[in-house]
Amino acid sequence: MRISVPREIKPEEARVGLTPTMVTALVAEGHEVFVAEHAGEGAGFSDESYRAAGARITSQEDAWAQAELLVKVKEPIASEYDFLRPDLTLFTYLHLAASRSLTEALLDRGTTGIAYETVRVGRTLPLLRPMSEIAGRLAIANAAHHLQHHAGGPGILLGRVPGVVPATVLVIGGGTVGEHAARAAVGAGADVTILEANGDRLRQLDALFPHARVLMSDTHRLDEELPRADVVVGSVLVPGASAPKLVRREHLSIVKPHALLVDVAVDQGGCFETTRPTTYDDPVYAVDGIRHYCVANLPGAVPVTATQSLTHATSPYVMALARGVDSALENDAALAAGLSTRAGQLHSPGVAAAFPDLPAAS
């Protein structure tokens, strides 16, 4: 099979879909691998390292054109839609429920799209988890920066110092993102509260975080906790579907005037009603005077770490797809759960629910 990895062109995104080690393994099985020029530089991999592994270094356009299987990190943006075609299988994060335009582009062009974020093993999402771990920690690191006076914040230290009340952090959702955000915040010495709706998960978090408040999440509890928070981290995920809007615009009137809202669910549309995607170049905006931090590709800030963590998880699935897309989807229920679009139809229930007027497989 012809397998390509393009250069990511989303702003401030330097991760890469294949490492030289993965190229070596693919070439050893007889596949041809095409890597766009400079695709791996931000992640620490030179063109020469890919060439030594057996890849052909080519232009961005040729990488797309040559591919039967194209392995990316982030979803295609509008300037890449014309590269989509019926004989292409795209393996990447897609987050289609948050993007009608991309969904329609994949359907119109008949592209097979397999989404990292909905590959499922039991109740776990093995290709989403590594980036969620990083995103949770970066949410707190960036919040700590934007609480500082020179960054436009109120001049509050996130962590604890003797004799001073620490910053309060409210984490909404106790999944992987929420757990790692809480770990980072507790480690810094913040006063941390985690809201979680699932009873079994709540008990796990209560055991993990003896120095945090772990509370059952409901609308009443949210109304009580929002006014206490200096930082609110939104980390609620419904796999493959749009994130629920838990923090409504009217809630902004009850949060502290200096509070920072960090929506890590922004890739799936966000769990704040007032969320809109931002970039690292311009990460913060205000609604009704309340600052929002909604960078849509948080792990892109640490491409070396993030690429290694992600590709360790994706590698066996890439190898299986390279041996045959049809057989891989037929023989691996986890991978089949990631199938989002094929032959002009939606295969993801969450995306079909988001866009009920678009054609869906029965």
Q: 267 a known binding residue?
A: yes
The answer to whether the Cα torsion of 161, 167, 171, 176 is positive or negative is negative
Query: Is 265 marked within a binding site?
Result: yes
Contact between 345 and 113 under an 8 Å Cβ cutoff? The reply is no
266 marked among binding-site residues: yes
Tokens 């990631």 found at: 338
71 labeled part of a ligand binding site: no
Instruction: Please name which of 23, 140, 74 lies closest in space to residue 310, comparing C-alpha atoms.
Output: 74
72 is in an annotated binding site: no
Does the active-site annotation cover 267? Answer: yes
Cα–chain center distance at 337: 17
> Which three-class secondary structure string do you get for the chain?
CEEEECCCCCCCCCCCCCCHHHHHHHHHCCCEEEEECCCCHHHCCCHHHHHHHCCEEECHHHHHHHCCEEECCCCCCHHHHHHCCCCCEEEECCCHHHCHHHHHHHHHHCCEEEEHHHCCECCECCCCHHHHHHHHHHHHHHHHHHCCHHHCCCCCCCCCECCECCCEEEEECCCHHHHHHHHHHHHHCCEEEEEECCHHHHHHHHHHCCCCEEEECCHHHHHHHHHHCCEEEECCCCCCCCCCCCECHHHHHCCCCCCEEEEHHHHHCCCECCCCCEECCECEEEECCEEEECECCHHHHCHHHHHHHHHHHHHHHHHHHHCCHHHHHHHCHHHHCCEEEECCEECCHHHHHHCCCCCECC
Point out the catalytic residue in the list 31, 263, 267, 292. Answer: 267
Residue 232 among known ligand-binding residues: no
Q: Answer yes or no: is 237 a known binding residue.
A: yes
| Residue 132 assigned as binding residue | yes
Joined together, the tokens standing for residue 356 give 């009920």
The one-letter code for the residue type at 68 is E
15 is in an annotated binding site: yes
Q: Is 95 a catalytic residue?
A: yes
Does the annotation flag 217 for ligand binding?
A: yes
- Residue 245 counted as an annotated binding residue: no
Contact (CB, 8 A) for 243 and 272 = no
Q: Which of 95, 146, 292, 347 is catalytic?
A: 95
Identify the CA nearest to 210 among candidates 171, 177, 182.
182
Q: Which residues are annotated as a binding site for NAD(+)?
A: 132, 201, 217, 236-237, 264-267, 276
Q: Which residues are annotated as a binding site for substrate?
A: 15, 74
Q: Tell me which residues are annotated as active site.
A: 95, 267
